[in-house]
Chain A
Amino acid sequence: MRIFDPHIHMTSRTTDDYSAMYEAGVRALVEPSFWLGQPRTSPASFFDYFDSLLGWEPFRAAQHGIAHHCTLALNPKEANDPRCTPVLDALPRYLLKDNVVAVGEVGYDSMTPAEDTALAAQLQLALDHDLPALVHTPHRDKAAGLTRTLDVLRSSGLPPERVVLDHLNETTLGAATDSGCWLGFSIYPDTKMDTDRMIRILRVHGTERVLVNSAADWGRSDPLKTRHVGDAMLAAGFTDDDVDQVLWRNPVAFYGQSGRLRPGIPAPTAADAAATHEGNSILRGGE
């Protein structure tokens, strides 16, 4: 089973996670930029984070045979902090980078005017850079948040097939499906969406335009949830081809719209091989 996790925050995960993901079949992933749990207080703090998503984290992923791409944005929560909003001015030069396959995560957190501004500005950046957008639907007041998100999307001019609406559930599935956007489901141990509910949704909706992710981060989450969904699909009578569509071909098709996706398995370099052979510092997490 080959797996592409279209939404996972590896910055918060360990090398054990990378190894377990590889064992489970994960060969490619997309790491969206988001909130770190600890609020940032300046644009420079974002730039270091973006640099890490464009350098160090892909390097770590490659050590474990996993291709790493990212999406960049000012997240909705910190869009409310005027100390952080100048990040928007620096995003254009970051969005040029070869490994950036979408603008995101953008969307709403508390549905404030500042979030309106940041969302509209970043959907425009997606248009300007010919990139798709990863849109986070809010955890609180989700249905109303989705309605407002869809209004902004319609006026943005970004075609729905270039948008994924993420963290969907049973209450938001209908409106999201009608919008024509891609449908993202984050499978969590105890919130958002679980494996059984995901199977029921796939039975009713089918496998078209569906992305399944672990959204694993610094909170209680599990980077192997994608694999669990694949196993549950097979147990529920879906075919290998259905599983491949949901867990590989759909994310490749969505992010492939950027023209920058290279989901091939990175070939280990001589240095990597030596590092592996020696059991040396990278795999051990530093000198």
Chain B
Amino acid sequence: MMLTPLASLRTGLEVQLDARSRDWLHRALAEAADAPRAPGPGAAAGLPPWERHFATAGRHCAPAPGAAPADAAALTDTARVLLLHAAGPDAEALTRLYGHGSAAERRAVLLALPHLDPPPETSAALALVEDALRSNDTELITAALGSYAAAHLDAHQWRHGVLKCLFTGVPLSSVAELEGRARGDGELARMLSDYARERTAAGREVPADLHHALKLTEDPRTERP
């Protein structure tokens, strides 16, 4: 049987967590799955239990002893993405979770966007991506330029996202579907060349990533599905 990307995320997370963290994950996911999709007005009084799990995931995701040298932040990201998928928050809840979130919670909301089922309302989800792209936090910028942005972000914003990566030192290898979107993009090529000129004029090195992206734009555009 083929595992869906989300199922393999979950399996991958479970093997890396210690037993206590795994118990927490099972409980938290079960409570998230039981949460009403659009909480009624009464729910506003206190935080739904699954949202408390979402906020506190960082202190419940301890790596198993002997597991591969795990990046605790990455384990927490995955747990939060799974919680969001299980709870399936509507656009309003998603916006609130991002707006009220720590940097790590915001990152998880961005990472979850392509996995949500049903998919989030596009304009609301894009507003979060655009908010993250206005920040100067490289981890938020990286999370914002995932496959959701690749599929939905308009050309102007996406090009500025790529340029922002070059400005802030985010490697372009972390931009989802860079090749496909950059291919044949003359406007992106112009922006990159202008930036390269600016760097050269200032006597500064042109990032290797810029040359790489510029090369990608030279390929003729193929029909995008």
Contacts and interface: CB of A to CB of B under 8 A. Distances in A.
Interface of A: 51, 54-56, 58-59, 92-93, 96-99, 259-260, 262, 267, 269-278, 280-282, 286-287
B138 A275 contact: yes
B103 A93 contact: no
A35 to B, nearest CB: 23
B210 to A, nearest CB: 11
A281 B102 contact: no
B102 A282 contact: no
Contacts of A275: 138, 168-169
A271 B171 contact: yes
Given A274-B169, A278-B205, A55 B100 contact: no
A54 B99 CA distance: 12
B201 interface: no
B169 A59 contact: no
Contact of A98 (B47, B58, B135): B58
B59 interface: yes
11 contacts: A56-B136, A58-B103, A96-B55, A98-B56, A98-B104, A275-B138, A275-B169, A278-B205, A281-B168, A282-B138, A282-B169
A277 B168 CA distance: 11
B152 interface: no
B142 interface: yes
Given A98-B104, A278-B169, 13 more contacts: A54-B102, A56-B136, A59-B137, A93-B55, A96-B56, A98-B76, A260-B58, A271-B142, A272-B138, A275-B138, A275-B168, A286-B136, A287-B167
Contact of A281 (B56, B57, B100, B169): B169
B177 interface: no
B170 interface: yes
B55 to A, nearest CB: 4
Contacts of B47: 92-93, 96
B170 A56 contact: no
B103 A98 contact: no
B159 interface: no
Given A96-B56, A278-B207, A287 B136 contact: yes
A192 B52 CA distance: 40
Interface centre among B56, B71, B103, B135 (most CB of A within 10 A): B103
B106 interface: yes
A259 B170 contact: no
Contacts of B142: 271
